[in-house]
Structure 1
Amino acid sequence: MKVGFIGLGNMGAPMAKNLLGAGHEVTVWNRTASKAQPLQQQGARVAKTPAEAARDAEVVVSMLADDPAAEAATLGPDGIVGALPKGAVHVSSSTISVALSERLTKAHADAGQGYVSAPVFGRPEAAEGKQLWVITAGPKAQVERVRPLLTALGRGLTELGEKPSSANVVKLSGNFLIASMMEALSEAFALAEKSGVERAAFLDVFKSVFARSPIFENYAGAIAKGQTTPAGFALRLGLKDVTLALEAGRAAEVPLPLASLLRDHFLTGVAQGRGDEDWSALGELARDRAGLKKKS
């Protein structure tokens, strides 16, 4: 299949690599062109604009950091919509707002193109190992058409019906759960440590009693070690996702009080210059609030 791939960050680069490995003909674009070089060496063609990557594609996959990047790459003067052939499909794996997803759905429909939302759960190492979990929604015929690409990216797929933005709601809800989990872990570790319990000892209890999910266990380990770099998912992106979850809650008239609290904690971290650290830096913020000194 001829595939355009837009966005080669921590997640996008290994996803594009896996599509190449599955035998697809891939053309890539990234705002920082140097990030495309490793994929070019593996057989990808490099485009100068998103439009160039989309022009001859049957499917374009985008994996971009936020709403402004996704909107520019899709609707901008050199964007996907202006070049993607009629009948071709745009698969958006970016974590974006529900409102933007609905705008992109309409823009592609008006241009005679398909649009499928397919955000993913998993960190960069999961993307590298094809262990992502894909959440997808869109017209059934379009989802079936792109299924070989989605199954090449991960270990499983959940379909959520024909409305693309449904997948974005689920992605934001899931990231809110992860963020809430990390806040609870962070406060629990801070309480135990200030009460004289070693973080490593509390981690052992957590693993023995509470751990059932690799996500839960991995973030607990990061918080216990105070490990905030390298960032698999930046704290500033956590702020973005929790803010988007609050916007979705407001639109649906669903109160999310913990999300408001989390937004303020994420904003504190960004204000302190920690925005590019992993979002497990919530653990260090909790330690700061508890008056715990940073260990050397």
Structure 2
Amino acid sequence: MRIGFIGIGAMGNPMAKNLIDAGFDVTVWNRSGEKCQPLVAAGARQADSPAECATADVLITMLADDAALDAVLREHDLIGAMAAKTVHVNMATVSTATAVELAQRHASAGKAYVAAPVLGRPDLAAAAKLNIVAAGPADAIEQARPALGRIGAKVWPCGDEPVRANAIKLATNTMLVSAVESMAEATAMTAAHGIEPGDFLEIITSSIFSCPAYLGYAPAMEKRDYDNPQGFKLRLGAKDIDLALTAAHAGNVPMPMSATARERLAEAMAAGDGDKDLSVLAETARRRANV
């Protein structure tokens, strides 16, 4: 199977590497071309333009946001460059409005489109343990499944409308940010009563909150080490909550907890913590509580 992969960032790099290691014929492209070199050394071919990736059996895009994806699609006429039987799998987190537009643009051109955002951080991407939420035509998902199966631990089909996958991803990230914020606040509260953060975090993550959302962020909170290159940058969490709130408002769905969590992220970014791991919310809570 031939795979075209566009977007070699913190997530895209290990995802593409897993495809190469699995023996797929992988062609890669990134706006900053030097980021492709480690993948070329591993066996990929570097394309001169995104259009060269578009004629593969499966075209995967993993770009930073709506604007980056739209720029590549328009500047390089990526949909037009797709072969008749190519399936475009967009694995990035985008807005629900963009999700609907992308599905319409592909349908108008007679091309197959699947939304398949991932649940997990770069460390899980490297281990091929991502969860992939896929929505789109069933036959298109099946065509892409061999590749998706090498990227993640499980594929979760969720219907034939691509926007459903993006709604699930945004909803999941709002829950994640709220979970990390609640853990940060609880850690600050117990610290005010003389309890070491590590002791409190060990109790909760070894008992009723023994799940990835808490286990993944507790170690950084305990060590007060928030510069994890494999982490989830706080500013990206803010971007995702903004997208989720916009989607919610479009459907008159109130999300007061998410709105409050977004304010905490704004507070952290104002303190210069936007490029740190999401667990840095613990420092925001400590500053607020003066502990």
Q: What is the TM-score with the length of structure 2 in the denominator?
A: 0.96
Q: Give 1:45 shift.
A: 0.8
Partner-residue secondary structure (3-state), 2:173: helix
Correspondence list, 1:131-210, <5 A: 131-210=129-208
Residue 72 of structure 2 is matched in structure 1 by 73
* Residue deviations 1:191-246 (CA, integer Å, cap 9, x gap): 01122111111122113322331332121222222221124211110000011110
The 2-side partners of 1:82 and 1:268 are apart by: 43
Residue 261 (1) aligns with residue 260 (2): yes
Partner-residue secondary structure (3-state), 2:67: helix
Question: Does the Cα contact within 8 Å between 1:189 and 1:224 map onto a contact in 2?
Answer: no
* Residue deviations 1:44-92 (CA, integer Å, cap 9, x gap): 11123322321x3121101111111111122x22142131112311101
* Residue deviations 1:91-121 (CA, integer Å, cap 9, x gap): 0100110110111111111122110010111
Residue 107 (1) aligns with residue 105 (2): yes
Question: Does the Cα contact within 8 Å between 1:222 and 1:228 map onto a contact in 2?
Answer: yes
Question: Does the Cα contact within 8 Å between 2:135 and 2:164 map onto a contact in 1?
Answer: yes
Question: Does the Cα contact within 8 Å between 2:116 and 2:165 map onto a contact in 1?
Answer: yes
The 2-side partners of 1:276 and 1:282 are apart by: 12
Q: Give 1:258 shift.
A: 1.1
* Residue deviations 1:137-166 (CA, integer Å, cap 9, x gap): 001111111111111111111110100110
Residue 5 of structure 1 is matched in structure 2 by 5
The 2-side partners of 1:235 and 1:208 are apart by: 25
Q: Give 1:177 shift.
A: 0.9
Q: Give 1:283 shift.
A: 1.1
The 1-side partners of 2:282 and 2:195 are apart by: 16
The 1-side partners of 2:77 and 2:279 are apart by: 34
Residue 34 of structure 2 is matched in structure 1 by 34
Identity %: 43
The 2-side partners of 1:58 and 1:200 are apart by: 49
The 2-side partners of 1:66 and 1:272 are apart by: 24
Residue 271 of structure 2 is matched in structure 1 by 272
Question: Does the Cα contact within 8 Å between 1:49 and 1:79 map onto a contact in 2?
Answer: no
Partner-residue secondary structure (3-state), 1:28: strand
Residue 235 of structure 1 is matched in structure 2 by 234
Aligned-pair Cα RMSD in Å? 1.3
Residue 89 of structure 2 is matched in structure 1 by 91
The 2-side partners of 1:136 and 1:238 are apart by: 21
Correspondence list, 1:276-291, <5 A: 276-291=275-290
The 2-side partners of 1:109 and 1:27 are apart by: 25
Question: Does the Cα contact within 8 Å between 1:135 and 1:167 map onto a contact in 2?
Answer: yes
Partner-residue secondary structure (3-state), 1:3: strand
Amino acid at match of 2:28: V
Amino acid at match of 1:17: K
Question: Does the Cα contact within 8 Å between 1:20 and 1:43 map onto a contact in 2?
Answer: yes
Unpaired segments ≥5 residues, structure 1: none
Correspondence list, 1:16-55, <5 A: 16-54=16-54
Residue among 222, 225, 230 paired with 1:224: 222
Deviates more, 1:80-89 or 1:118-127: 80-89
Question: Does the Cα contact within 8 Å between 2:204 and 2:210 map onto a contact in 1?
Answer: no
The 2-side partners of 1:127 and 1:185 are apart by: 24
Q: Give 1:250 shift.
A: 0.7
